[in-house]
Chains A and B, each alone.
Chain A
């Protein structure tokens, strides 16, 4: 069955330090992987995606994510965190196996990132 796990409900880092938000997934075919960010009282905004090709994907606001097929992971990273990065982050996966779940998008439970000054 398709699923996404974000093992950490909260991640706290100091400004200027590197940050990692973890995501693992399970699909039957090949994954299309996405990261979205949600600021307070706002809808979700797209950050980056992995379709195929380079395992390191670069996205908006200096974020990047590393796809690891053997570990079925797609961790979100940033070399130097900003206070303004504080938000709720969601990982999502879509399965390219064109079966009964075609079109479905599966989200993790979200990770609250807090960057303190």
Chain B
């Protein structure tokens, strides 16, 4: 089954404790991206990757890191989480094939609470 998986689905942590949210897709997509969803703000792009070893900042990259060492994986790293990073996080992927007009497939989301 074609899908984007995220782990963990739920996480409660404390300020300053490094964490990683994993994202994996099995569709051989070139493009992957992370978003956060907050009430009243919609989805905001954190980072995206157009291919292996190529990453770029989105709207709200502060406090986050990403890496793209393999095509299928795109982990989101919070080196020192803070309460303002409490949010619902979505990973997404899509084909590129030289174009930017392909729809994205979204993971189920990770609800993060930072105390």
Contact = CB atoms under 8 A, between A and B. Distances in A.
Interface of A: 6, 9, 32, 34, 36, 42-46, 49, 51, 90, 92, 94, 96, 102-110
8 contacts: A6-B42, A43-B4, A43-B109, A44-B106, A46-B103, A46-B104, A90-B42, A107-B43
B109 A109 contact: no
A54 B92 CA distance: 27
Given A104-B45, A104-B59, A107-B44, 6 more contacts: A43-B108, A45-B106, A94-B101, A104-B48, A107-B45, A109-B42
Contacts of B35: 107
B45 A43 contact: no
A116 B40 CA distance: 23
A43 B107 contact: yes
Contacts of A51: 101
B50 interface: yes
Contacts of B4: 43
B42 A103 contact: no
Contacts of A92: 43
A109 B103 contact: no
A108 B42 CA distance: 6
Nearest to B55: A103
Closest 8 CB pairs of A and B: A43-B106, A109-B42, A46-B103, A107-B43, A44-B106, A32-B101, A51-B101, A107-B42
Contacts of A45: 106
B31 interface: yes
